[in-house]
Amino acid sequence: MPADEDLRTVPSPPLEGVRVLDVSTLFAGPLAATFLGDFGAEVIKIEHPARPDASRGHGPQKEGVNLWWKTLGRNKRTVTVDLSAPDGAEVLRRLVADADVVIENFRPGTLERWGLSPDRLLAINPRLVLARVTAFGQFGPYSGRPGFGSLAEAMSGFAALTGDPDGPPTLPPFGLADGVAALATAYAVMAALRGAERDGRGQVVDMAIIEPILMLLGGQITAWDQLGTVQPRTGNRSVNNAPRNVYRSRDGVWLAVSTSSQSIAERVMTLVGRPELIAQPWFGSGHERALHADELDDAVQSWIGAHDADEVIAAFEAASAAIAPVYDVRGVVEDPQYQALGTVVRMPDDELGEVAMQNVLFRLSRTPGSIRWTGRPHGADTDEVLRGAGYSAAEIAALRRNGAV
């Protein structure tokens, strides 16, 4: 088949033709835009001319180049606009005319103060989806408060559940609530785009970061409502099944074991030489097994502690029982399953030469996503995007002189 004919048969990514204006910062909003960009959306990242997205200053750097931004900013063109300046607000209004999505995370009322209210933006573009990502949502007694994902992890009950039973509540060492909210925002945007496709009308997405993480905490609200129970901290154990914990092998490797299904629990106890426990009346229920976690953990740890990690993993695999090593980032990069999936990819980068990062979230068989480029320098595409919006060279120069871009 001729090369040009072959190229014509390659399907476009599923979000090709969707234009996203990312005017958000730290981290849920920008990450949602990254997810959309990974599957073909044209994402224009808008930052303040003098105050770049704060994520560019988070985490490690190499030779003055921020490394987290290379992933968070991938597949985005970068533009500088001062939205608080009248000329800058006008730039956004002109860009909105040809956009499908705007993602913002200013405190409620900020866009309105700048003349960029939802009503005004939807008047310019009735099909627009405006995703507003804030800590507490657009209304309610906390809506005007500053907030970040850590507060959502605290308020949702996640921190209260995390940590050792006799220790303090524990926050995760990464942006968990932000990441969950980013996934939820991308999902909400896709739902709203589908609605606009059907009836030609856009809408506002009100995403409060304190809410999506609640869905991951299972049936706790219903249990509180019906039984008045509050789930305690259990460390690495589960209240739903046992054995479920991390166990240390003879050669010092930590291994995670899970027995969420009854059949797996039976296989594990047979493997570790305690089949008599399976006959106990309490063993047939995950919840009841969790009440006997001390006995089950002692049995599993005793057996794992007498073997090296490779032996343990091989034995569990042969028994069709669930186990995995506890990795740090080195283990992730070196693991053959991650390598087979292509979970970590190496990408060319203008500033660093080449960088490794997580691949797109999932594999589509016909219209896959891709990383087209890594995070770009602050404002690298400003002139090109403004020219595309109809600004002349003289007008762009004037915007620069007055600090609007």
pLDDT at 287: 92
pLDDT at 2: 40
- Rounded-to-integer distance, Cα 13 and Cα 38, Å: 9
- Rounded-to-integer distance, Cα 86 and Cα 174, Å: 37
From the list 178, 335, 349, 383, the catalytic residue is: 178
pLDDT at 9: 66
Tokens (6 digits) for 261? 């299904």
Tokens (6 digits) for 183? 């996934």
Burial pattern 214-251, b for ≥16 Cβ within 10 A else e, equals beeeeebeeeeeeeeeebebbeebbbebbbbbbbebee
pLDDT at 11: 85
pLDDT at 286: 94
Q: How many CB atoms lie within 10 A of CB 404?
A: 21
pTM value?
Answer: 0.93
CATH code linked to domain 3-215+345-401: 3.40.50.10540
pLDDT tens for the chain, 405 residues: list them: 344 444 456 689 999 999 999 999 989 999 999 999 999 999 999 999 999 999 999 999 999 999 999 999 999 999 999 999 999 999 999 999 999 999 999 999 999 999 999 999 999 999 999 999 999 999 999 999 999 999 999 999 999 999 999 999 999 999 999 999 999 999 999 999 999 999 999 999 999 999 999 999 989 999 999 999 999 999 999 999 999 999 999 999 999 999 999 999 999 999 999 999 999 999 999 999 999 999 999 999 999 999 999 999 999 999 999 999 999 999 999 999 999 999 999 999 999 999 999 999 999 999 999 999 999 999 999 999 999 999 999 999 999 999 999
DSSP-assigned letter for residue 345: E
pLDDT at 3: 44
Q: Where are the alpha helices (DSSP H) in 82-175?
A: 86-96, 110-113, 118-124, 149-155, 158-161
Torsion of CA 271, 273, 275, 280, to 10 degrees: -120
Nearest in space to 242 (alpha carbons), one of 193, 195, 183, 282 = 282
Tokens (6 digits) for 395? 């007008």
Nearest in space to 56 (alpha carbons), one of 45, 48, 46, 67 = 67
Q: Is 328 a catalytic residue?
A: no
What CATH superfamily is the domain 245-326?
formyl-coa transferase, domain 3 (3.30.1540.10)
Instruction: Provide the residue ranges of all domains of the chain, joining segments of one domain with +.
Output: 3-215+345-401, 245-326
